[in-house]
Structure 1
Amino acid sequence: MKIQGHLFNILAVFILGVAIVYGVWSREPVGTTALFLAFALALMIGFYLVYTARRVDTGAQDRKEADVADDAGELGFFSPHSWAPLALGAGSMCAFLGPVFGWWFLYFTAPLIAVGLWLWVFEYYRGENRTQ
């Protein structure tokens, strides 16, 4: 994870250089702003990966003498199925179409987004964790 973090930090420095050169050369505010935002995004991801790599055990990808089989096994818990991302995606799509067709369209998308968020947050509050 540390290697990926350093790669994102190098990418952030490159994008910062490109943003400065592009901003000075073109004097175009929209592209310059987009490049500075891309710099910030790459820097945030790089910082997160480097910071997390310090707090967790060294993974097989961080050791030079590691084999492919060292990284085998269970990687974590992944939800087998969930309808919440579909509801959130449909609600978000309709919400972004709101300014196109009219702001009144958001009244119909707000319940869909709320239901999607409710499903996602309370997805695993069933069985032994459920209150009666």
Structure 2
Amino acid sequence: MKIQGKMFLWLSFFILAMAVLYGLWSKEPVGTTALFLSFGLTVMIGFYLAFTAKRVDAMAQDNKEADVADEAGEVGFFSPHSWQPLSLAIGGGLAFLGVAIGWWLLYFSLPLILIGVFGWVFEYYRGENQNQ
């Protein structure tokens, strides 16, 4: 985890240097703004990874003599079957399509988004997955 945080922070300083150089050389505001926003995003990701690396035990990628098999095992818990991401994807797609076609399309997309969000949040509070 430690090396990922350092890599993102190094990348952020490179992006900052390129944003300043690009802004001075081209005098084009859109690309310069995009590069400065990219700098901000990489700083946030790098800070998060560096901050959480202090709270997490050392992983295999932090050890220079580790093998690939040292990191084998369970990664985490993932829902085996859920229809909620499909509802969110369709609702989000319709919402973004509404920006291009017309705002009236949001009337159809917002219920799908709300169904997907509430279904995903409360997925393990009802049905066969409910805690007893």
TM-score, normalized by the shorter chain, greater than 0.5: yes
Runs of 4+ displaced beyond 2 Å: 126-130
**Corresponding residue for residue 8 of structure 1:** 8
Q: Which amino acid aligns with 2:101?
A: F
Q: Distance in 1 between matches of 2:53 and 2:10?
A: 17
**Corresponding residue for residue 31 of structure 1:** 31
**Corresponding residue for residue 21 of structure 2:** 21
Q: Distance in 1 between matches of 2:100 and 2:130?
A: 45
Q: Secondary structure at the match of 1:9?
A: helix
RMSD after superposition: 1.4
**Corresponding residue for residue 57 of structure 1:** 57
1:22-101 to 2 correspondence within 5 Å? 22-101=22-101
**Do the aligned partners of 2:4 and 2:49 also contact (CA within 8 Å) in 1?**
yes
Deviation at 1:81, TM superposition (A): 2.0
Matched, 1:129 2:116: no
**In the TM superposition, what whole-angstrom CA distance separates every residue of 1:80-119 from its partner, at most 9, and x where no partner exists?**
1221111111111110111222111111111011011011
Percent of paired sites with the same residue: 65
Deviation at 1:128, TM superposition (A): 4.0
Q: Distance in 1 between matches of 2:49 and 2:121?
A: 25
**Corresponding residue for residue 108 of structure 1:** 108
Q: Which amino acid aligns with 1:121?
A: V
Gaps of 5+ in 1: none
Deviation at 1:69, TM superposition (A): 2.2
Question: What TM-score comes out, normalization by structure 2 length?
Answer: 0.91
Gaps of 5+ in 2: none
Aligned residues: 130
Deviation at 1:2, TM superposition (A): 0.7
Question: What TM-score comes out, normalization by structure 1 length?
Answer: 0.91
